[in-house]
Amino acid sequence: MKEKEFINIIKNTLHSKYIGDDCAYLKDLGIVVTQDSLVEGIHFRRDFATPYQLGYKSVMVNISDICASGAEPLYLTVSLSLPPDIGAEFVKQFYEGAKKACKNAEIVGGDITGAEKIYISITAIGSVRNRRISSRANAKTGYKIILSGNHGSSAAGLSQLINGEKQSKFINAHLMPDARIDFSKKLAENIIEDYAMMDTSDGLMDALAAISKESNVLMSIDFDKIPFDKDLKSFDNYQDLILYGGEDYELVAAVPEKYVQGFVIGEVKSGTGVEINYTDKQVLYSSEEIENKLFNHFKENL
């Protein structure tokens, strides 16, 4: 839980109105900006991913944050710190993967330094032109909760990698995720009302809990409406994978009914926390319970 404690210290030290969403929205410049770092041994392992996959995913993670804000991903800077045993071929493949993930965006700078482990830090900039920007604090009672795609695949793939498996559709979902650029574009270009959107990088429940907390609403979800790959049922803990598994990089949003797209999985109600409705029961989680579960089960498992 140290990470959350540190973020509170940072908020209290900086008194910034910007810190809270996936991206900072800089109105005067008409842009959003986000930065994420990936550390070898914490966020990835060299024996799980090729340099190409690592470059691809590192960029995609940041593009996903831009998409979560509703902005158009345009530019990235990439900073790489590399141990002495890393050679030219790694750098070439990493940047080929990074370039592929950029799609219409472009890498425009960054730096390269030495280090003992691989550190990757990427900043992405998006344009807000003709788009309406989301905020976690914008969910309102009566809004529909929508989702862009399947959940649980990436976490299933990670568990297969940890078990020594090398190839599967789930492993592919884990190593080569795709940010939901089109889902974001369609919503942000058309909507003329406030809305909440996040990516599910830390799991669906994490995103739902964050929107609940920042908007001070109850997120009521029908479990059976959450889309997932049916082969996930071969995992004993598939329900946990769907709800708590991270790194699917789908988008979850709370929007007025007329802007519904993708999968409708529930509704915003008055109250607090996240309510999961199963066919035979209903379970209510507070944001704090979800944070604890996330940290215990998924966040520190590499």
Enumerate binding residues for a copy of itself (CB under 8 A): 3, 5-7, 9-10, 13-14, 16, 18-19, 23-24, 26, 28-31, 33-37, 39, 41-43, 74-75, 77-79, 81-82, 88, 91-92, 95-96, 99, 106-117, 119, 121, 123, 125, 127
3-state secondary structure of 10: helix
Distances in whole angstroms, Cα of residue 111 to Cα of each of 71, 81, 85, 93, 122: 25, 8, 18, 17, 10
Distance in Å, CB of 139 to a copy of itself, minimum: 21
Distance in Å, CB of 45 to a copy of itself, minimum: 14
DSSP annotation of 151 reads: -
- Distance from C-alpha of 200 to C-alpha of 251, rounded to nearest angstrom: 6
Residue with Cβ nearer a copy of itself (37 or 277): 37
Residue with Cβ nearer a copy of itself (13 or 279): 13
Distance in Å, CB of 38 to a copy of itself, minimum: 8
Residue with Cβ nearer a copy of itself (111 or 231): 111
Distance in Å, CB of 239 to a copy of itself, minimum: 28
Residue with Cβ nearer a copy of itself (121 or 153): 121
| Cα 185–Cα 106–Cα 131 angle in degrees, nearest 5 | 25
Distance in Å, CB of 244 to a copy of itself, minimum: 19
Tokens of 208: 């739902």
Sheet harboring 196-199: ordered strands across? 196-199, 251-255, 144-147, 263-269, 218-222, 273-277, 282-285
Residue with Cβ nearer a copy of itself (123 or 261): 123
Total number of residues shown for the chain: 302
- Distance from C-alpha of 298 to C-alpha of 274, rounded to nearest angstrom: 18
Biggest distance spanned by C-alpha atoms of the chain:
57
Distance in Å, CB of 214 to a copy of itself, minimum: 15
Angle between helices 51-69 and 181-190 (to 10 degrees): 10
Residue with Cβ nearer a copy of itself (143 or 249): 249
